[in-house]
Amino acid sequence: MRILLATKNRGKIRELNSLFAGTGVEFVGLDIVESPPEVVEDGKTYQENALKKAMTFYRLTGLPTLAEDSGLEVDALGGAPGVYSARYAGEDATDEDNNRKLLQALKDVEFEKRTARFVSVLCLVMDGKPHFFEGEVRGRILMEPEGSSGFGYDPVFCPEGYEHSFAVLGQEIKNSISHRARAIEKLKGFLERMLQ
C-alpha cells in the first residue's frame, strides 16, 4: 500500500518508512507531485490544519494521504504557542527565534510551573474519508536550551521522567516516547488491521 506523506522533508519520509518496514506500507513524499501547491495552515486546531493538508493532496493525486500538524502547548502561557508553534516568533522565524521568544515569555516563571506538552495530530485520508490519530508527551520547558540533535523546540523541552531535553536525549529515545511516535503507533495499528 502506497501512502503519500504531505511533506517535502526527506527525513520524515525515511523515518516513517523505517518505522513501517515489513508491514507492506510504503510512504512517498510530495516530490512525486508536479509543482505541489503551498497549503496555508490557517486552521484554529491541529485537526483542521492536518485535514486541510491531507485532503488537498488526496484530491490532487487520488492516493491515500497522510498529513500532520503538531505544536507545543505551555500551561503558563495559556496553551501558547499551540497551532502557531512553527511561526511563534514570526512568519519566517527560525527554531532559534522561536526558542528565544518562548524563553523570554517564561523568564519569570519558576521551573516547577513550566509544564508543557507536545501534541501531534495525524490525518489519513483514504477513499475520501479522514481518520485522525493523536499523541502527546508531557514535560517542562528548561531555563535555557541544551543539546544539538533534533529540531524545533527540542533543545528547551524536557520530557517527564528525564533530566535533559530531547536535543540531548537524541533521536532513539525521542522516537520511542515523542508525541509523534505515539500518534504513529495508533496509525500503525489502524493500517495493520486494514491490511489483514
Instruction: Report phi then psi at 133, rounded to 5.
Output: -135, 125
Residue partners of 11: CB distance under 8 A and separation at least 6: none
Cell of 64: 491515500
- The active-site residue, picked from 31, 69, 108, 154, is 69
Tell me, yes or no, if 97 is annotated catalytic.
no
**In terms of Cα–Cα distance, which of 117, 118, 11, 1 is closest to 64?**
1
120 sits in which H/E element: strand 115-126
Beta bridge partners of 8: none
Active site residues: 69
